[in-house]
Structure 1
Amino acid sequence: MTAPEPVCRYVYDLGALAEHVGKVVAALPERCRMFYAMKANSAEPVLATLAPLAAGFEVASGGELAKARAVAPDGEVLFGGPAKTPGEIEQALTAGVTRLHVESVLELHRISEAATRLGRTAAVLLRVNLAGPFPKATLAMAGRPTQFGIDEARLPEAVRAAVELPGVAFAGFHLHSLSNNLSPEAHLAMLDLYRRKITSWEEAFGVRCEVVNVGGGIGVNYADLTAQFDWTRFTDGLARLVGTFPAHWREIDFECGRFLVAACGSYLTEVLDVKRNHGVHYVLVRGGTHHFRLPVSWQHSHPFGVRHVEAWPATLPRPGVRGEPVTVVGELCTPKDVLARDVVVDEVRAGDVLEFRHAGAYGWEISHHDFLSHPHPEHVYR
């Protein structure tokens, strides 16, 4: 290779991102709004692209709130997260967030204290950890012991506090029970469960919801990039389902992350070596899970293609593999640094470049960037 350093970069197609999100938002039925869950990718160019398209941003930390306000000073922001500090609550109220998603009774009291002291009123949704059962998905956020939300059994206490505490305005409920769900039918069934649950709570507790937040959880099929969540089929069914929602639910909020941004990004990394150990062909790349942690986090082989590079120093041997399964590993000193395992390739050689597709969400954002102090990848926005 003639470059001074091996290829290692993220490339984001902002035009494709805007086109995709524009279509997603346009297909939503009346009363439904799409917020972007920033945890998936909080890069400034991504946020600036989404700011005029989404209803606003969903943040889960003071740092994310600052990023949201930097690109959308007056935009709508929802503040969630299971462990908000008192300082973050005060920051949220000072920044004028639209609503806080409350995860415990203690948090309600902290919000009340801060709002009263600041002379503000905090609109809140109560995030409820339902008993379930729910459709199968990659991650369960409710229906079993997790740190998220208020146990459904403790809801009477939480509703009473939300209604009675000073400085707090009860606006409705937040329900986010699954992550990476790939079935439109299952997602619609879950939302219908939400409808039945919330209407029963309204009757039991004598409250009325203005806003219902149904979370995100719509997935990306990394195993088959040609078989993605059918948004059109889902929104067609959603339009019928929303017709059964009470009229006083003026707003139905979604807060998606990976479904909006995954397809816009690719992670490209150069093959440094190819070798065989104990019957396994290993493709060693410049980079790895310290740049792109999603595959090891989700325990999957991430889809990739090979970009063949013909230039190669004549003085060096060039190892490669043809028509055999390979395991792609990074440059870290751990056997867990694996991006893909046992994937058959037509051909891959040292000096070629691998392109990991659908890497726009939970890639760089969740990675342990400075382990072994390797250089960071480039980030290119087009």
Structure 2
Amino acid sequence: MSGHTEVASGHAELAARFGTPLYVYDLDEVAAARRELADALPEEFELYYALKANPHPDVVRELRTGGDRGCKAEISSTGELAVALAAGFTGADCLYTGPGKTSAELDEAIELGVRTFSTDSVTDVRRVGTVAVGHGVVVDCLLRVNSANASATTSIRMTGTPSQFGFDSETLADVLPELRRVPGVRIAGFHFFPLSNAKDEASLVAEFQHTVELAAGLARDLDLPLRVLDIGGGFAAPYGVPGSRGSYPKLRAELTDVLDLHFPEWRAGSPRLACESGRFLVGTSGTLLATVSNVKVSRGRKFVILDAGINTFGGMSGLGRLMPVSVRLDGREAERASLVGPLCTPGDVLGREIELPVLSPGDLVAIPNAGAYGPTASLLGFLGRPAPTEVVVRGDEVVSVSRLELRRSAAP
């Protein structure tokens, strides 16, 4: 997190025009991230954008465009499906994921044309099949695999431990005969997601190599021809701190080598290959602007109170933990203080006893790299405060201005 009074003039003008807290998303930066990631991967890969990172329709629409290298949509709710459709995707462009899919949401998804689902259990596959049969269609199911071991020991682990996500790899041989008999589904391949926000390129490459090797071994041992192999993500970007996206200059060559070894026909589409990304594609596109509401001292400790707290910048990209903040001083006089939000809870802390520039009420603070896991990953409903305004820009042009609203309505 970078808080300083030397806010870019364009941001200051937007804050004066639309007020704070204010998210600003730069579509040029979104497009640049998409190009970088597409260039880092073999051209045969399909790239899915995980809408949970930022479901703003303009951001999603930007990632859909781009000709042959535009993204498809990875969704995990009918709400995200609605956003994807509004952004121009079709149901056939979507991969529906999540361990707790209900019959009602599956009914809606299949009705709207979704035909590929990532599944996490026998019950999940059965439920997908039952709904598909009701619609008179056959849908593709990818089996999400929770590997018994992993390569990278750093980053946020998403596999190798007991989990609600995926089939434990060592149990697939026992359950696959039953899965093959489920009406309404075709077992089309595997879906892996072993880690998030890889520490470095070497960690990511090693994980992908392990994933490809494991997928090939499972397909051989289970006699399961793979039509689709989704190797997951893990592409890194900073969150609320200064910095740039991860760089992957060796990734294309390393993936090519391991795929040549284990899937000789991959260039001909056997299997179709996919990976996914959220934060890398949108994280660096966003800036959160907030205003210092008050500065106070309590028992010798200073508190800088912003009009944006965990209801605005919730830290969910850290999987529930409050993110440590790092504030750039820009040569200004420094002091130690706690940076907090406006909520009536002692948990509304963005940084405890951190080094800050000396700030006063009315100062504008810019939090960089806030394009992923922003409003929809925050406690928007807590205390009934209005959601932050979101402005989308392309260069100097304001594309849209909007704000999420929570409304109570009578249940059906």
How big is the shift at 1:209?
A: 0.6
Structure 1 unaligned spans of 5+: 308-320
Give the corresponding residue for 2:409.
Answer: none
* Number of residue pairs the alignment of both structures matches: 370
Secondary structure of the corresponding residue to residue 358 of structure 2: strand
Q: Secondary structure at the match of 1:350?
A: coil
Alpha-carbon distance, 1:223 to partner: 8.2
1:240 is displaced (CA, Å) by 3.0
Select which of 94, 100, 107 maps to 1:83.
100
1:215 aligns with 2:232: yes
Distance 1:240 1:277, change over 3 A: farther
Q: Identify the residue that residue 118 of structure 1 maps to in structure 2.
A: 135
Alignment correspondent of 1:287: 308
Q: Which residue is equivalent to 1:26? A: 39
What residue in structure 2 maps to residue 58 of structure 1?
74
Q: 278-287 or 264-273: which moved more?
A: 278-287
CA offsets, 1:207-251, max 9 Å, x none?
111111111222223486436422223334333333324125332
- Per-residue CA deviations over 1:61-109 (Å, capped at 9, x if unaligned) read 1111121112224361100011000112222222222410011101111
Whether 1:354 and 2:368 are equivalent positions in the alignment is: no
Pair 233,281 (structure 1): closer, same or farther in 2 beyond 3 Å: farther
Contact 2:334-2:357 within 8 A present in 1 as well: yes
> Aligned ranges for residues 1-382 of structure 1 at < 5 Å?
7-53=20-66, 54-74=70-90, 76-222=93-239, 225-226=242-243, 228-246=245-263, 247=265, 249-294=270-315, 297-304=320-327, 322-382=333-393
CA distance 1:42–1:156, change in 2 (3 Å): same
Q: Letter of the aligned partner of 2:78 in structure 1?
A: G
1:286 alignment partner AA = D
Answer whether contact 1:121 1:169 (CA < 8 A) is retained. Answer: yes
* Alpha-carbon distance in 2 for matches of 1:185, 1:60: 29
Structure 2: how far apart are the matches of 1:172 and 1:5?
48
CA contact (8 A) 1:14 1:46 kept: yes
Q: Distance in 1 between matches of 2:20 and 2:281?
A: 27
CA deviations over 1:85-140 (Å, ceiling 9, x no partner)? 01122222222224100111011111221222211111111001111134234432
1:352–1:95: structure 2 CA closer, same or farther, 3 Å change rule?
Answer: same
Q: Secondary structure at the match of 1:128?
A: strand
Instruction: Name the SS for the 2:387 alignment partner.
Output: coil
Contact kept? 2:146, 2:166, Cα under 8 Å:
yes
The residue type equivalent to 2:342 in the other structure is E
Moved more, 133-142 or 173-182: 133-142
- Summarize deviations over 1:251-298 as a string: whole Å, max 9, x none: 221111011110001111000111222333211001210011017833
Amino acid at match of 2:32: E
1:175 counterpart letter in structure 2: F
Per the TM alignment, residue 148 of structure 1 is displaced from its structure 2 partner at its CA by 0.7
Between the aligned partners of 1:77 and 1:4, the Cα distance in structure 2 is 37
* Rounded Cα–Cα distance in structure 2 between residues aligned with 1:306 and 1:288: 21
Match of 1:315 in 2: none
Identity of aligned residues (%): 30
Contact 2:212 2:231 in 1 (8 A): no
Query: C-alpha separation between the residues in 1 aligned to 2:144 and 2:276?
Result: 13
SS of the residue 2:342 aligns to: coil
Give 1:326 shift: 2.4
Assess if the C-alpha contact under 8 Å between 2:245 and 2:284 holds in 1: no
Letter in 1 for 2:325: H
Distance 1:106 1:8, change over 3 A: same
Match for 2:139: what amino acid? A
Instruction: Give the 3 Å change call, closer, same or farther, for CA 240–134 of structure 1 in structure 2.
Output: closer
**Counterpart Cα distance in 1 of 2:176 and 2:27:** 42
Name the residue aligned to 1:316. Answer: none
Asked whether the equivalents of residues 31 and 250 of structure 1 are also in contact (C-alpha less than 8 Å), the reply is no
Counterparts of 2:111 and 2:38, CA distance in 1? 29
Residues 42 and 287 of structure 1, relative CA distance in 2, 3 Å threshold: same
- Counterpart of 2:113 in 1: which secondary structure? coil
* CA positional deviation for 1:5: 9.3
- The whole-number CA distance in structure 1 between the counterparts of 2:250 and 2:24 is 30
User: Counterparts of 1:95 and 1:327 in 2: how far apart (Å)?
Assistant: 48
CA RMSD of aligned residues (A): 2.6
Secondary structure at the aligned position of 1:49 is classed as: helix
